[in-house]
Amino acid sequence: MAYNELIKNFNKVRDYMRDFYIYGFKSREAYTRKSTRSYDDEKRRIESWLGEYMKFRQDADGKKVFLSIDSRVTRHNPLYKAWKTKSFTDGDITLHFILMDILSDGQERSLMDIASLVDGYLTAFEQARVFDAATIRNKLNEYVKEGLLISRKKGKTILYRRAEEFELPDTDVLDFFSEIAPCGVIGSFLRDKTKDRADHFAFKHHYITGAMDSEVLCTILEAIHEKRTITVEMIHRKKDHITETKVVPLRVMLSVQSGRQYIMVYVPHFKRITAYRLDSIVTVKKGEPADRFDELRDKLLGMQQHMWGVATDSRASNRMEHIEFTVQYADGEQHIPRRLEREKRIGQVEYLGEHACRFSADVYDASELIPWIRTFICRITDISISNKSLETQFKEDLQAMYEMYGLEGEK
């Protein structure tokens, strides 16, 4: 049963799901952090949730397992199942239902009153469990934190009562929120409580792996809301080691192209704003209030006028990179300039007559625009980048493409 799954540390599950199932490049023999038995135990657990999506391939290095999810037929994020298996004991389950029944009438009760009523329930059993006042207090405070109960202080006594139930949003709202929004697992939990199981949305680009970072993201959003510092443990995968850094979280940013999630943070040690990828964060702990939070948020807002993605200026010179390119289009191709206007995140579009326009921008890192610019290649008549090595690379890549398709004479 689910409550016998003793998952005390979700980070371990998160690590396995990412390394062995999302990336799909490690074999059982490549696992060296703990024993192979530990790997087998976690593998069986994850396959119990995601067995229908599991695939494997065999190569010289051994059997490699990975997830294969077809978004055309899978409408709901299957990775949320990992959050719906929680660590409980038989005592947790027993105490939960007793407390919920005691407080079901909506009345406020003190810890001592609740403990006395719990004892009354247990007398009906020959070999009943015994719950002391400290255990009951801890469970009540846990439920207050989770929003299941509400507490208030009356003199020196704390009174507890059930929180009011709220009306669930429309199922279409839950469907969309759970698959698109950060921390969408919340919407998935709510959707499980509805009877309407119709699937009204399908997604061409369905970014599901952010589900594993929901706990980290939730803590970060709480810290931003409370204007607090955080201490993050980051894993550096190339060097395979973990570092701990105290930072001020300023904004969460999501890539609509890759689905990657980032936080923009101020690092006091380096005195600059930079980006951290959420899937590289191992743990997050909230700290003290950040005195300069509003000032740093305003600074980031000003910087975003020169940020195409998440790259910020890491140089002492504060030098921007200028980039511009010109596109041409025919009479019936007004969708080209409209697309430029719609998709540009920063910069400006200048019209050069009826059939041409120029996009230009000053950015911290011009290389972030290159994938977008490539989508206009057959329309581009001129391109200029102040970072000449980047410009040369772009043109050399284009030349290599021409040669590969035998189009040297059509440059």
Read off the pLDDT band of 357 (50, 70, 90). Answer: very high
Could you give the CA distance from residue 1 to residue 79 in angstroms, rounded to a whole number?
19
Q: Is the predicted pLDDT of residue 323 greater than 60, yes or no?
A: yes
pLDDT of residue 209: 81
State phi, psi for 182 to the nearest 5 degrees.
-60, 145
155: tokens are: 């003199």
Element (H, E) at 372: helix 370-374
Read off the pLDDT band of 197 (50, 70, 90). Answer: low
Instruction: Give the C-alpha distances (Å, rounded to integers) separating 62 from 17, 55, 58, 65.
Output: 18, 14, 6, 10
pTM: 0.71
Q: Please state, for a pLDDT cut of 70, what percent of the chain lies above it.
A: 87
Q: Is the predicted pLDDT of residue 18 greater than 80, yes or no?
A: no
Cβ–Cβ < 8 Å for 180, 256:
no
- The alpha carbon of residue 167 and the mean position of all alpha carbons in its chain are separated, in whole angstroms, by 27
Q: 100-127 pLDDT, tens per residue?
A: 999 988 899 999 999 999 988 888 777 7
Report the chain's mean pLDDT, rounded to a whole number. 84
Give the lowest-confidence range in 73-87, 230-244, 282-296. 73-87
pLDDT of residue 115: 92
pLDDT of residue 4: 42
> What's the whole-number mean pLDDT along residues 314-331?
82
